């Protein structure tokens, strides 16, 4: 991964790669951010002199721990837990917990590093962190999930708190898991500290729109990008990957704004529904019955299931990758461009490989990077923290209005930073620059720590 520009940045990147050997996802995230910061550093030599980059790429704290638990057969199982507390210059660490068999140090570091800039863009006074485990809740009983979550929190509770580190959900961690985690935290600490976790149930400290926020936010960001060219979502076809929370509510918001989402996917393949995805059916299959996406096509006459190929083979004007990292290849990008895609917004974290991003930008396709486009989830988590602190509960309409306003602000900051640093329309540079400057200024003010 050569650097096209800055001799200032290259040694920082090379030192970080050497220190974090064998962690390709983290290296990719570092490269993507650092390469875009050359014009910012040229304008702000004080950041270089203060060693901001060297400090920024090194987490403030890395916590790896053993998670022993007992399965339903009585056998002892052992997983590994992670919490990377990356940067707290703007506020307490904030970022989700991911439970999936693919989780390792590289993935948690890449997610935590991205979270620094994403959280900074929201303007809400939250730092960056991430955590999780290589435990996969799929196929586990309720009792097994509960016992794992309790064991995980038995160690994690030492390192979190509403003024220290506030985890949330991510892949594999939904309302059920947050409930078990919060219950164990409450039992261990003897405190009903509502603000220690976000994504809670509405009846015990949760916030309206939190479930919908990441998907809604990605569509709001897409709406803002299109508006810069006098376009709108109404009348456009959207291609969406994934079938979890982010994808489901991105599909819903596209429909509410007059567009039509026609795809959804999981690891087994994807469905195409030219009539528009039936959201109630998709929720029933994925959220209630927890079945494969192929079942959607079995129950929906207008849909077909495709087990091979790529969901990005389907033509559409809007593409919303909402599944996982590196899911959209350079070849997929070329197909989307050929089929007339106008805007791509990352609902997932780093779903587009670097070559795909370059292809979209070269073709003049509007491209919203994850740290900007999917900031709605963490933004609403911060709104949940605010409600917990004030012992308030806002309505759905009020919460959605606040989310929309925050996403407009994220877009404005990214758009204006891209223009300021000489690359109008480059939301990758804009998001990185805007988020970085906010963090860097806070680090300068607080001294060498």
Question: Which parts are annotated binding residues for substrate?
Answer: 94, 115, 118, 169, 381
State yes or no: is 236 an active-site residue: no
Strand-strand pairing, 318-321 and 237-241: parallel
> What is the rounded distance in angstroms from the CA atom of residue 328 to the CA atom of residue 274?
22
| Given 109, 130, 200, 286, the catalytic residue | 130
Per-residue three-class SS string for the chain: CCCCCCCCCHHHHHHHHHHCCCCHHHHHHHHHHHHCCHHHHHHCHHHHHCCHHHHHCCCCEEEEEEEEEECCCCCEEEEEEEEEEEECCCCCEEEEEEECCCCCHHHHHHHHHHHHHHHHHHCCCCEEEEEEECCCCCCCCHHHHHHHHHHHHHHHHHHCECCCEEEECECCECHHHHHHHHHHHHHHHCCCCHHHCCCCCHHHCCCCCCCCHHHHHHHHHHHHHHHCCCCCCCCCEEEEECCCHHHHHHHHHHHHCCCEECEEEECCEEEEECCCCCHHHHHHHHHHCCCCCHHHHHHCCCEEEECCCCHHHCCCCEEEECCCCCCECHHHHHHHHHCCCCEEECCCCCCECHHHHHHHHHCCCEEECHHHHCCHHHHHHHHHHHHHHHCCCCCHHHHHHHHHHHHHHHHHHHHHHHHHCCCCCCHHHHHHHHHHHHHHHHHHHHCCC
Question: Which parts are annotated binding residues?
Answer: 94, 115, 118, 169, 214, 245, 381
Give the C-alpha distances (Å, rounded to integers) separating 317 from 95, 222, 238, 341, 365. 31, 11, 6, 4, 10
> What is the rounded distance in angstroms from the CA atom of residue 212 to the CA atom of residue 47?
37
Question: Which parts are annotated binding residues for NAD(+)?
Answer: 214, 245
Give the C-alpha distances (Å, rounded to integers) separating 399 from 24, 241, 404. 37, 26, 9
> What is the rounded distance in angstroms from the CA atom of residue 370 to the CA atom of residue 320?
10
Q: Considering only CA atoms, which of 295, 299, 282 is closest in space to residue 245? A: 282
> What is the rounded distance in angstroms from the CA atom of residue 334 to the CA atom of residue 113?
28
Catalytic machinery residues: 130
């Amino acid at each position: 991964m050569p650097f096209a520009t800055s001799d200032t940045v290259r040694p920082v990147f090379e030192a970080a790669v050497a220190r974090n050997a064998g962690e390709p996802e983290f290296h990719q995230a570092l490269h993507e951010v650092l390469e875009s910061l050359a014009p910012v550093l040229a304008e702000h030599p004080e950041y270089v002199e203060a060693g901001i980059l060297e400090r920024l790429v090194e987490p403030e704290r890395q916590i790896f721990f053993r998670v022993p638990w007992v399965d339903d057969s009585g056998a002892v199982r052992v997983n590994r837990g992670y919490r990377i507390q990356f940067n707290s210059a703007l506020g307490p660490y904030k970022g989700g917990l991911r439970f999936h068999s693919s989780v390792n140090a590289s993935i948690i570091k890449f997610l935590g590093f991205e979270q620094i800039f994403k959280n900074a863009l929201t303007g809400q006074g939250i730092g960056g962190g991430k955590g999780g485990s290589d435990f996969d809740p799929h196929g586990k009983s309720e009792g097994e999930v509960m016992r794992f979550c309790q064991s995980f929190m038995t160690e994690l509770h030492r390192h979190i708190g509403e003024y220290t580190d506030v985890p949330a959900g991510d892949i594999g961690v939904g309302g059920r898991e947050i409930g078990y985690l919060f219950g164990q935290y409450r039992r261990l600490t003897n405190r009903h500290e509502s603000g220690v976790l976000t994504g809670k149930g509405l009846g015990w400290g949760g916030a309206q729109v939190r479930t919908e926020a990441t998907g809604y936010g990605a569509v709001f960001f897409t709406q803002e990008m299109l508006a810069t060219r006098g376009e709108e979502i109404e009348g456009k076809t959207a291609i969406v990957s994934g079938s979890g929370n982010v994808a489901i509510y991105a599909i819903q918001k596209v429909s509410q704004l007059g567009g039509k989402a026609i795809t959804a996917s999981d690891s087994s393949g994807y469905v195409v529904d030219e009539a528009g995805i039936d959201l109630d059916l998709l929720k029933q299959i994925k959220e209630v019955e927890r079945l494969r996406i192929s079942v959607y096509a079995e129950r929906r006459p207008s849909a077909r299931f495709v087990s091979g190929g790529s969901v990005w083979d389907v033509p559409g004007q809007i593409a919303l990758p909402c599944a996982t990292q590196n899911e959209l290849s350079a070849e997929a990008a070329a197909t989307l461009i050929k089929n007339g895609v106008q805007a791509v917004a990352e609902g997932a974290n780093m779903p587009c490989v670097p070559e795909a991003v370059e292809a979209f930008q070269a073709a003049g396709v509007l491209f919203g990077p994850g740290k900007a486009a999917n900031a709605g989830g963490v933004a609403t988590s911060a709104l949940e923290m605010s409600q917990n602190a004030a012992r308030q509960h806002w309505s759905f309409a009020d919460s959605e209005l606040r989310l929309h306003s925050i996403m407009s602000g994220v877009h404005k900051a990214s758009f204006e930073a891209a223009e300021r640093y000489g690359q109008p329309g480059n939301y990758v540079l804009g998001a990185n620059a805007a988020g970085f400057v906010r963090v860097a200024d806070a680090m300068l003010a607080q001294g060498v720590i």
